[in-house]
C-alpha cells in the first residue's frame, strides 16, 4: 500500500502535475494540503477518470485538504472534534484496512506570536483527536505538512534555524507528543542519505542549492511499523516548471 502526502500550494495551479504524478506513481492514497479551493470547485471528475475516489474540505485562497484513494473512503471526518476552527486543515477517512489522517498543520509565522500560540493549541487538540482515533483504528497513518522539522537532521542549517519557527523546541515537543502516542516517522525507520528535504523556499534558488527542510511526514502506528518497507521524498515534481515548494513524502507498506 503506497501512501503519499503532498502540499501542492494550489491545486488549481498544479492539477496537471498532480494528475501526471498519480498516473506515473499510482499511490493507493494521496493526501493533499493547501488545495486552496472551495468544495464546489474541486476537480473530482479529473481524479475519477484515473480511477480514484476523493474526499475534500476546502476554502478559498487558503488551506484546504483532500484525500485521493483507489478504494472507497469510509467514515470521513473534516474537523478536529471539539475544536472550533474555521480553517480547513484536516481530513480523515478509512481506506481499506487503514485509517488515514491528513493534516495541514498551522505554520505559526513567528515564535511567540499569536499565530504561534494558535499553532500550539491546534497541535494539542489534534494530538487528543489522534489518540482517540488510535483506540479505534490500530492501523493508523497520520500524514501531512506538519510545518515542523523533527530534528536538526531535517534542516539545512540548524544553527541559523535554531529556535526559529518550524524548528523551535515547543513545536518539536508538540510533534514528539504525537509520536509518543505510538506513532513512528516512517522516513526514520530506514537508513537515509544526509540532507534530504521536502520543502525549499522559492527564493534564492534554495532548491537548486539543496537548502531545505523536511517538514512533510508520513507517520505510522505500531501496528503498521513492521509492514513499512520504504519511505522517501520524491523530488522530481519540485523540478517542474511552476512547481509547489513542497515535494511528495511517500511511505510504502506490505499489507
What stretches in the chain show pLDDT beneath 50? none
* Distance, CA of 213 to CA of 196 (rounded, Å): 8
Enclosing domain of residue 193: 2-253
Residue 9 near residue 34, CB atoms below 8 Å: yes
What pLDDT was estimated at residue 62? 97
What pLDDT was estimated at residue 186? 98
What pLDDT was estimated at residue 11? 98
Active-site residues: which are they? 104, 145
CA angle 236, 240, 244 (to 5 degrees): 85
**CATH code (residue 22):** 3.60.10.10
What pLDDT was estimated at residue 30? 99
Contacts with 187 (C-beta within 8 Å, 6 or more apart), sequence order? 196, 214, 217, 218, 231, 232, 233, 249, 251
In the 8-state DSSP scheme, what is residue 97? T
What pLDDT was estimated at residue 197? 99
What pLDDT was estimated at residue 224? 98
Q: Based on the structure, what is the number of domains in the chain?
A: 1
Structure confidence by residue, pLDDT tens digits, 64-97: 999 999 999 999 999 999 999 999 999 999 999 9
What pLDDT was estimated at residue 146? 99
* Distance, CA of 210 to CA of 232 (rounded, Å): 16
Radius of gyration of the chain from Cα atoms?
17
Q: Is the pTM of this model over 0.95?
A: yes
Amino acid at each position: 500500500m503506497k501512501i503519499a502526502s503532498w502540499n501542492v500550494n494550489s491545486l488549481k495551479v498544479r492539477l496537471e502535475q498532480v494528475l501526471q504524478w498519480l498516473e506515473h506513481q499510482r499511490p493507493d492514497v494521496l493526501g493533499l494540503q493547501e488545495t486552496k479551493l472551495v468544495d464546489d470547485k474541486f476537480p473530482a471528475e479529473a481524479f475519477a477518470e484515473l480511477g480514484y475516489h476523493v474526499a475534500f474540505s476546502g476554502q478559498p485562497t487558503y488551506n484546504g485538504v483532500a484525500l485521493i484513494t483507489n478504494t472507497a473512503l469510509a467514515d470521513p471526518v473534516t474537523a478536529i472534534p471539539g475544536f472550533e476552527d474555521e480553517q480547513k486543515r484536516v481530513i480523515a477517512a478509512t481506506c481499506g484496512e487503514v485509517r488515514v489522517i491528513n493534516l495541514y498543520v498551522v505554520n505559526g509565522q513567528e515564535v511567540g506570536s499569536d499565530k504561534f500560540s494558535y499553532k500550539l493549541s491546534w497541535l494539542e487538540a489534534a494530538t487528543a483527536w489522534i489518540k482517540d482515533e488510535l483506540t479505534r483504528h490500530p492501523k493508523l497513518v497520520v500524514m501531512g505538512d506538519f510545518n515542523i522539522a523533527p530534528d536538526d537532521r531535517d534542516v539545512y542549517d540548524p544553527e541559523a534555524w535554531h529556535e526559529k519557527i518550524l524548528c523551535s523546541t515547543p513545536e518539536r515537543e508538540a510533534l514528539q507528543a504525537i509520536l509518543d502516542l505510538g506513532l513512528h516517522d516512517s522516513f526514520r525507520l530506514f537508513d537515509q542519505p544526509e540532507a534530504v528535504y521536502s520543502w525549499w523556499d522559492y527564493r534564492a534558488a534554495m532548491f537548486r542549492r539543496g537548502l531545505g527542510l523536511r517538514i512533510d511526514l508520513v507517520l505510522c502506528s505500531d501496528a503498521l511499523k513492521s509492514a513499512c518497507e520504504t519511505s522517501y521524498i520524491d523530488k522530481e515534481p519540485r523540478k517542474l516548471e511552476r512547481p509547489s515548494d513542497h515535494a511528495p513524502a511517500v511511505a510504502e507498506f506490505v499489507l
